[in-house]
Amino acid sequence: TSSIFAAVEMAPRDPILGITEAFNADSRTHKVNLGVGVYYDDNGKLPLLAAVKAAEKARLDAMPARGYQPIEGLAAYNQAVQNLVFGKDSPLLANGQVITIEALGGTGALKIGADYLKRLVPGAKVYISDPSWENHRALFESAGFEVGTYAYYDAATRGVNFAAMKASLNAMAPNAVVVLHACCHNPTGADLTDAQWQEVVQIIKAKNLIAFIDMAYQGFAEGIDADAVALKLFAASGLQYFVSSSFSKSFSLYGERVGALSIVTASKEESARVLSQVKRVVRTNYSNPPTHGGAIVAAVLSSPELRQQWEDELAGMRERIRAMRIALVEKLKAHGHDFAFVAQQRGMFSYTGLTAQQVERLKDEFGIYAVSTGRICLAALNTRNIDHVADAIAQVLKA
């Protein structure tokens, strides 16, 4: 008798993890992995933040028992997320218009939101930016949605083609779900201006679209408040919308899976009903979230000293990435190449405009790994590898 798995096909490899596997197998000492999506410090190491260490030590000393959490997670954590994402003085919070559940990273928040949306607006179409974080499409498709794209990136300017983006939004049917990157667009690094956000909010309102704002990099562009400008504009709009947020990057807590899904409703009474439905989605997926990561983030955000320490460390990460952007622009300028756009783009990533062929040469000839789309992670650059990277890019740009 044949195995029930006999006809199972091999799924395609995750393209980014594939880069890391090839990188790990490379024996060249000067190799650099710009394909990653994490923040490394100037020593090329994944940091464990001092504020996190302090909160973890206190938790270890307290040796708490490990009971189940509520389905929606830790109340102190959810409250802290709301204050951070919406601003603690937001009328939305005072009115009880926001529900927040602790989720398994930003990915978990998107998935719970997607599953709930499938119940709420089963026939709606979902639109993601062209291009977008590669998991957006797969995630909404796996929730049962048809996923299309809206115009976003402009290869000519390495910025946003805003006229085309508006045309895409204006062409959508009512109740279409629009997935937006709050800041530090992944993979391009190209963000909307405040004025453009205002126009996006107006179109979403006029066309009766449903915004799903993905905020995976709060604090990595300009600062915690400045990076929430889209959230503030949506808050003032009177709309209902979804927000996924993540502390993977901002707390360097990738493996602890700490994120949150927030939903803005029209009233406190509506919030209660929506929360009851979202809890059902959680209950049938993983029942309730794990304890550790959320407890650490809640402890840091609710202690004035630890919070200050975290904000300083977050600023340090942001400023280091910024310094690497500026240094790369200057070094490439010295080679006669205008990469000024790299300093305009924000967050961890840049769409460099390097072709798949040039990316291949970077790997073969210089041991530098990047995504074939030309996406590089600026947070993987440091003072010791940047000259090698800039020289190599200049070499592959030669005809």
Q: Could you say whether residue 133 binds ligand PLP (CB under 6 A)? A: yes
Among 82, 161, 218, 248, binds ligand PLP (CB under 6 A): 248
From the CB of residue 272, how many other CB atoms can be counted at a distance below 10 Å?
12
Distance of closest approach, residue 92 Cβ to ligand PLP, in angstroms: 22
Answer whether 244's CB lies under 8 Å from 106's CB: yes
Quick one: 69 or 246, whose CB is closer to ligand PLP? 246
- Of all residues in the shown chain, the one whose CB is closest to ligand PLP is 105
The nearer residue to ligand PLP, 218 or 246, going by C-beta atoms, is: 246
Site for ligand PLP in 23-62 (CB under 6 A): 37
Q: Is 258:248 a contact under the CB 8 Å cutoff?
A: yes
CB of 60 to ligand PLP, least distance (A): 24
Q: Are 182 and 215 in contact (CB under 8 A)?
A: yes
d(CA 81, CA 225): 13
CA–CA distance, 243 with 253 (Å, rounded to integer): 19
The region of 105-113, 145-153, 296-304, 366-374 touching ligand PLP under the rule CB under 6 A is: 105-113
Q: x-or-dash pattern for ligand PLP, window 185-224, by CB under 6 A?
A: -x---------------------------x-x--------
Contacts of the segment 154-160: beta carbons below 8 A, 24+ positions apart: 154/190, 155/351, 155/353, 157/341, 158/188, 158/190, 158/341, 158/344, 158/345, 158/350, 158/351, 158/353, 159/190, 159/341, 159/344, 160/190, 160/191, 160/192, 160/196
**By the rule CB under 6 A, 106 interacts with ligand PLP:** yes
103-111, 116-124, 274-282, 288-296 -> range binding ligand PLP (CB under 6 A): 103-111
Q: Which of 33, 246, 250, 288 binds ligand PLP (CB under 6 A)?
A: 246
CB of 259 to ligand PLP, least distance (A): 5
Contact between 262 and ligand PLP (CB under 6 A)? Answer: no
Choose among 223, 229, 226, 227: nearest CA to 200.
229
Q: Phi first, then psi: give them for residue 87, nearest 5 degrees.
A: 90, 130
Q: What are the structure tokens assigned to 57, written together?
A: 């030590």
Distance in Å, CB of 323 to ligand PLP, minimum: 22
Comparing CB distances to ligand PLP, the nearer of 102 and 214 is 214
The site that binds ligand PLP (CB under 6 A) totals a number of residues, namely 12
Q: List, in sequence order, every residue forming a beta bridge with 51; answer none if it has no partner.
A: none
105 binding ligand PLP? (CB under 6 A) = yes
Interaction site with ligand PLP (CB under 6 A): 37, 105-107, 133, 181, 186, 214, 216, 246, 248, 259
